[in-house]
Chains A and B, each alone.
Chain A
Amino acid sequence: MGQTNPPFMSGVPELLLLRLLAQREMYGYELVKSIRLVTDEAISLGEGVIYPVLHGLERNGALKSKRKAVGGRTRVYYSLTAKGKRRLERLQQDWNRIQSGINASLDAPSHA
């Protein structure tokens, strides 16, 4: 299992959650499992930490939630709104830019 929450990971949970919720609605435990699966366990969040992120995204209008009774338990399912889709696009662009910058710096010949 990967290390959790280094400071550099700030903003990554939000991007991952929006990306997964763009595919289908999910509840917290499902989201954590999906993150572990799609990142091949490279990114492992403190599992309870995703809920403040989800609540914050919902408060900002990027997500909406609804309760559903599944298997005798009431689950809170989250899904993406139109605002959330725009936010995801912007975050993906930011991430791609950062990634390109880091790759360029790693590929550059060393001056040391």
Chain B
Amino acid sequence: MPRPHFDRLRDHLLQSGVASRHVIRFVSELSDHHEDLEDEAMQYGLCPESASTQASDRIGSDRVLAAGMLNRPELKCWFHRYPRLASLLLPVAYVAILPLAPVFAGITNATAIVRWCACLMLSAVITAAMLLVMHFSIALS
């Protein structure tokens, strides 16, 4: 479980355009590394709190850790590496997939749509039944 310290780092890296697969793995590796450092410190007799503090010091500050990732353009998402190409291609891609938006919306909300359809059919059946009753009552009167 990543510590809150690394959660902030993760958010900062994602907002700065580092590819999510690198960010997720980086945070997971840092978290494991931190645990290893804590274990090592406790083997030398430190209490858990001191071990955690020492581990954080050894692993480096958020600023240093973030700089290590941000200084490597190859770890960024393609649209952060090639912003001009992205500004050209992304609008075209969005327009191309726009007609498919209702389909995707339907797939993601399939349960709600089925429920709505069932309710509509039920209300249609009830209305038809009421009309039939009215029809027969008029016919028989």
Residues in chain A within 8 A of chain B (CB atoms): 27-29, 32, 46-49, 51-53, 55-56, 59-60, 73-76
Contacts and interface: CB of A to CB of B under 8 A. Distances in A.
Contacts of B69: 52, 55
Contacts, number: 62
Contacts of A28: 29, 32-33
Interface of B: 22, 25-26, 28-30, 32-33, 35-37, 58-60, 64-65, 68-69, 71-72, 74-75
25 contacts: A27-B29, A27-B32, A28-B32, A29-B32, A29-B33, A29-B36, A32-B33, A46-B60, A47-B58, A47-B59, A47-B60, A48-B30, A48-B59, A48-B68, A49-B64, A51-B26, A52-B69, A52-B71, A55-B69, A55-B72, A56-B74, A56-B75, A59-B22, A60-B74, A76-B28
B60 A49 contact: yes
A95 B58 CA distance: 27
Given A52-B68, A59-B75, A74-B32, 16 more contacts: A29-B33, A29-B37, A46-B60, A46-B64, A47-B59, A48-B60, A49-B60, A49-B65, A52-B69, A55-B22, A56-B75, A59-B72, A73-B35, A75-B32, A76-B28, A76-B29
B74 A59 contact: yes
B115 to A, nearest CB: 40
A5 B104 CA distance: 49
A22 B58 CA distance: 26
Considering residues A27, A28, A48, A74, which has the most beta carbons from chain B within 10 angstroms of its beta carbon? A48
B20 to A, nearest CB: 13
Contact of B26 (A32, A52, A60): A52
A74 B69 CA distance: 22
Contacts of A76: 25, 28-29
B95 to A, nearest CB: 31
A28 B26 CA distance: 10
